[in-house]
Amino acid sequence: MITKVSIGTSFMGALNYNLKKLYSKDESQKAEILATNFASLNHQSIKNELRLLQSLNPRLKRNTFHTSLNFGKDEVISNEKMLTIAEEYMKKMGFDNNAYFIFRHHDTGHPHCHILALRNRFDGTVVSDSKNYQRSDKIARELEQKHGLEKVQSSLESKVKSPNKDEIEMALRTGKASQRMVLQELVGAALKRNNNIPAFIDHLEKNGVNVLFNQASTGRVTGISYCFGGFLAKGQALGNQFKWGQVSKTLNYEQTKDFQPIDEANGRTRAAYPKGGNDSKAGKPTANRMPDGTSKQSEGDHEKPKNTSTSNQFQSSNIGHKTGSKDREADFRNDREPEILPSSDQGSTNSVFHSNGAIASLGELLAGASATGSVSDDGKKKKKKKGKEEDLGLEC
């Protein structure tokens, strides 16, 4: 079972997302209510109940808990069993005295339900959001075992970050892998076939991938990013095995010995991408665009060095599941199509080959339970602008 958790500011926005499914005339998009403790579905009545509960703790802004429980595509889950699992999940997450809705959706190829709950309890206390994703992941593993569900690997154990909904749908629709998936395939192959930094860099560059190391003037490296066809991604956005901490171990990194090849590789990357990666010509990227001359650490999970070898560092951001809640809410509402595989003049001449490899890997993943555990990689929380509420919807 896979869980996707989000904390937001607009309960009604999240509710409208689910009600839209409930009242949809398209049978393939239909949803049904499995349970609720609200008095009615009348909007004004719901707002009145929410207003009363929120008045118990008016300072709480991020009061909306919205998660989906996703089961294996081949699993047969009755409404009764799904409701039992959802209620157990809620209780374990601390929602045992809260206003809530549980909806079952039928708009994907796998059974799943959405849980929408107010963090304000009826007694005026608030359900903690501390370590939400880790706790959700752990509870999912417990419920898998208790109810005999198809088991999936924990997101904390996964070496490769699984494709998101848009990437899967695009791959099935077009037969082309997203650039992130192609990068995973190319970098993964380079890690398997090489055991030192120079050979790793050479292997990637021959396949159209440039590497950008976050290297201080002392030679110390604290992060790594990969550029392919105008598209740039941090190592952590591809998966644990692509992060610098793991790459440095796999390739037997030594600071003194590898200083020069890393510095030279950075020079070639900046020459190849003078204006940074993810430019507008490449289409709408999954990662943020990178302005020229922006200095920023390549990988956010390492400490920032005091001195850097150059001020012309690329700026990149996480891809896919690791987003702040504001970004997640926007993603849930909008169908964003990840970039398609770049043409041969943008990257490697073997792009189609590696695209096929990425699609093959995707097929293996879909044959199982689909992805890894909870979207715990959903990590960085952004401060929200005062007075502005974002509607919260969930994609599965």
**Res 29: pLDDT:** 85
Residue 190 counted as domain residue: yes
Residue 381 counted as domain residue: no
CATH code for position 61? 3.30.930.30
- Asked if 117 and 195 sit in the same domain, the reply is no
Residue 63 counted as domain residue: yes
Q: Which of 121, 147, 173 is the last residue of a domain?
A: 147
Please report, rounded to a whole number, the percentage of residues in the chain having pLDDT higher than 90.
47
- Asked if 141 and 203 sit in the same domain, the reply is no
- Asked if 114 and 193 sit in the same domain, the reply is no
Residue 373 counted as domain residue: no
Average pLDDT over residues 371-394: 41
- What tens digit of pLDDT does each residue of 116-152 get? 999 999 999 999 999 888 899 899 999 999 999 988 7
Give alpha helix (H) positions in the chain: 11-22, 43-54, 79-92, 132-147, 165-174, 179-193, 197-206, 235-238, 244-250, 255-272, 325-333, 351-367
d(C-alpha 117, C-alpha 96), whole Å: 10
- Asked if 258 and 343 sit in the same domain, the reply is yes
Sole residue written with tokens 């390492």: 302
- What tens digit of pLDDT does each residue of 171-183 get? 767 878 888 888 9
Higher-confidence residue of 51 and 392: namely 51
- Asked if 139 and 230 sit in the same domain, the reply is no
- Asked if 71 and 41 sit in the same domain, the reply is yes
Long-range contacts of 143-150 (CB under 8 A, 24+ apart): 143/1, 143/85, 143/88, 143/89, 144/1, 146/88, 147/81, 147/84, 147/85, 149/1, 149/71, 149/72, 149/75, 149/85, 150/1, 150/71, 150/72, 150/74, 150/75, 150/368, 150/369
Please report, rounded to a whole number, the percentage of residues in the chain having pLDDT higher than 70.
66
Q: How many structural domains comprise the chain?
A: 2
- Asked if 181 and 99 sit in the same domain, the reply is no
Asked whether the beta carbons of 289 and 196 are under 8 A apart, the reply is no
- Asked if 38 and 128 sit in the same domain, the reply is yes
Q: What is the domain range of residue 88?
A: 2-147
**Res 25: pLDDT:** 87
d(C-alpha 359, C-alpha 237), whole Å: 18
Q: How confident is the model at residue 109 (pLDDT cuts 50, 70, 90)?
A: confident
Q: How far is CA 274 from the centre of its chain?
A: 28
Give the DSSP letter of residue 214: E
- Asked if 297 and 332 sit in the same domain, the reply is yes
Residue 384 counted as domain residue: no
β-strands 209-215, 2-8: how paired? unpaired
Cβ-proximal residues to 284 (8 Å cutoff; 6+ apart), any chain: 336, 337, 339
Least confident of 98-102, 157-161, 175-179: 157-161
- What tens digit of pLDDT does each residue of 366-381 get? 444 443 444 334 444 4
Higher-confidence residue of 284 and 358: namely 358
**Res 221: pLDDT:** 94
Most confident of 191-200, 231-240, 358-367: 191-200
**Res 154: pLDDT:** 59
- What tens digit of pLDDT does each residue of 30-69 get? 899 999 999 999 999 999 999 999 999 999 999 999 999 9
- Asked if 238 and 363 sit in the same domain, the reply is yes
d(C-alpha 133, C-alpha 127), whole Å: 14
- Asked if 136 and 273 sit in the same domain, the reply is no
**Res 173: pLDDT:** 77
Residue 233 counted as domain residue: yes
**Res 110: pLDDT:** 87
Handedness of CA 273, 274, 275, 276 (dihedral sign): positive
Nearest Cα neighbor of 341 from 236, 211, 184 is: 184
Cα angle value 52/56/57 (rounded, 5°): 125
Asked whether the beta carbons of 10 and 389 are under 8 A apart, the reply is yes
Residue 198 counted as domain residue: yes
Handedness of CA 27, 30, 35, 41 (dihedral sign): negative
Residue 222 counted as domain residue: yes
Higher-confidence residue of 383 and 245: namely 245
Average pLDDT over residues 314-325: 38
- Asked if 59 and 199 sit in the same domain, the reply is no
Residue 304 has pLDDT above 90, yes or no: no
Q: Which of 116, 147, 178 is the last residue of a domain?
A: 147
- What tens digit of pLDDT does each residue of 305-318 get? 444 444 344 443 33
Angstrom CA distances, 50 to 5, 14, 103, 171, stand at 21, 13, 18, 41
d(C-alpha 162, C-alpha 152), whole Å: 12
